[in-house]
Chain A
């Protein structure tokens, strides 16, 4: 089985935000929620880099570890998913997540956040694959159709890579060797406790 990961090559990302838009459109993500986002560090300065970030589907995921209702589960492809029917919107996953991935449809106070929403790696949720109920809660399930996440699939510069961790790491490694530089795999140390050595 593959171990699915994301890798954003920040030396290629041009901050076009197409991954953000494609994700919102594909899954009809509610207003105020962005499952994927682009962050620019050193904006306007030497060393400016843009990184597309979403849920990294961590090894030993912190969200799953702290969830009071144990609503998270990991698929055979190591994708971290959650069950919105047992989520209570407490916000604990949000405190624990190092990537700010969990978001809530209502910013309301008094704990009325609503069910947590995050990147599903285009793999839906616990309902039957590609059914109406699954789509309403989690968006489309491209993994069940044998496709990779849309954000990475349509990335114009192929900065964002999705797929088996070893495979995308070797693609990245080859790029760095060819061009002679690379800022590294953002979030990998935090999410997977390993990094891509070149």
Chain B
């Protein structure tokens, strides 16, 4: 491998010195080519510089004027090797971490037990926006993973015809559900950004690892540092995935083939990392923590759960409730 790289580098150097006209060749992708260059030299040079050999065609489709674009090989390497490894390690690694955490720590219970009284944590709009984003994300994630891993994991089980049908419908679902997903990202951002601005106390929360490994509960406002991370992963990652995805849904509207290859690389890497992050989010929001699911289920969380995990938020809500209480109301037993 190293000898091949050295040989290629030597050849490029030799070409550079031997043919000054080559200086014009590098740079913009659709450059004119040297009059003396042979097919072999040009292809090697384009493969090394990431350019393409292009000219003029008489067909209306401007894309047909591209003769050879070796960059497709790099994209193939990304899709078949890099993305498979990054995705496999991220998803399986996160599942492994969750399993290990569940085996050692077990379910995070409400230390002081359930109070029996509840407090509203998320209203209907917040829950609707969350579940629209969440449900479409699950479908997008599964259909996306199917495009990368289905050929190796699902195809041998169901056969080529059934797999092609499933994957075709998966592609349509992936394309069309991107719209409610993107709307959900926008809504979640608008609804929750004011409570997700990083704060100095987040450092303390992170230092205590959020109390995940012990029974102390570092103070937190409406969202703790972990939830803020989930929020920003969702908003920033979701935006990157949505933008790169729309570049691919609308071929050649925004960019050329090199741009679409890059968009796919961004889309693939960020998607698998988001899937890994969301696996953790799903775990701690359901099986992993007693009382956590209620926040997004009924929207009413147990008061003791809220005090343990969001002490400052509960104080704040209580204060607001006292201030807005009816002026004529009297404290219990005052008469």
Which A positions have Cβ atoms within 8 angstroms of B?
A: 10, 15, 17, 20, 32, 34, 37-43, 45-47, 51, 53, 62, 65-71, 83, 85-92, 94-100, 107, 109-111, 113, 182-190, 195
29 A-B pairs in the complex with CB atoms less than 8 angstroms apart: A15-B58, A17-B58, A37-B57, A37-B64, A38-B57, A39-B56, A39-B65, A41-B33, A41-B54, A41-B55, A42-B55, A62-B76, A66-B75, A68-B151, A69-B150, A69-B151, A70-B155, A85-B161, A86-B161, A88-B168, A91-B248, A95-B257, A96-B73, A96-B79, A99-B67, A111-B174, A184-B38, A185-B40, A186-B39
- What distance in Å separates the Cβ of A102 from its nearest Cβ neighbour in chain B? 10
Task: Give the distance in Å from the alpha carbon of A21 to the alpha carbon of B144 in the complex.
Answer: 39
Interface residues on chain B, size class:
35 or more
Task: List chain B residues, Cβ under 8 A from A10.
Answer: 39
B261 at interface, CB cutoff 8 A:
yes
Closest residue to B263 on the A side, CB-wise?
A95
Task: List chain A residues, Cβ under 8 A from B146.
Answer: 68
Task: List chain B residues, Cβ under 8 A from A15.
Answer: 58
Task: Give the distance in Å from the alpha carbon of A187 to the alpha carbon of B54 in the complex.
Answer: 12
Task: Give the distance in Å from the alpha carbon of A113 to the alpha carbon of B175 in the complex.
Answer: 12
Task: List chain A residues, Cβ under 8 A from B73.
Answer: 62, 96, 98, 190
Task: Give the distance in Å from the alpha carbon of A195 to the alpha carbon of B43 in the complex.
Answer: 11
Closest residue to A51 on the B side, CB-wise?
B67
Task: List chain A residues, Cβ under 8 A from B168.
Answer: 88-89
Task: List chain B residues, Cβ under 8 A from A95.
Answer: 72, 75, 79, 257, 260-261, 264
Task: List chain A residues, Cβ under 8 A from B57.
Answer: 37-40
Whether B64 and A39, one on each chain, are in contact in the complex, defined by CB atoms closer than 8 angstroms, is: yes
- What distance in Å separates the Cβ of B268 from its nearest Cβ neighbour in chain A? 11
B176 at interface, CB cutoff 8 A:
yes
Task: List chain A residues, Cβ under 8 A from B34.
Answer: 47
- What distance in Å separates the Cβ of B81 from its nearest Cβ neighbour in chain A? 10
Which residues in chain B, 29-44, are within 8 Å of chain A measured between CB atoms?
32-36, 38-41, 43-44
Whether B54 and A39, one on each chain, are in contact in the complex, defined by CB atoms closer than 8 angstroms, is: yes
B251 at interface, CB cutoff 8 A:
yes
9 A-B pairs with the lowest CB-CB distances in the bound complex, closest first:
A47-B35, A184-B39, A41-B55, A86-B164, A184-B38, A189-B43, A111-B175, A88-B168, A186-B39
B92 at interface, CB cutoff 8 A:
no
Task: Give the distance in Å from the alpha carbon of A107 to the alpha carbon of B63 in the complex.
Answer: 12
B307 at interface, CB cutoff 8 A:
no
B167 at interface, CB cutoff 8 A:
yes
Task: List chain A residues, Cβ under 8 A from B164.
Answer: 69, 71, 85-88
Q: Interface 1/0s, chain B 242-255, versus A by CB < 8 A? A: 00000011110100
Q: Interface 1/0s, chain B 46-72, versus A by CB < 8 A? A: 010000011111110101111111111
Task: List chain B residues, Cβ under 8 A from A68.
Answer: 146-148, 150-151, 167
B217 at interface, CB cutoff 8 A:
no
Task: List chain B residues, Cβ under 8 A from A39.
Answer: 54-57, 64-67
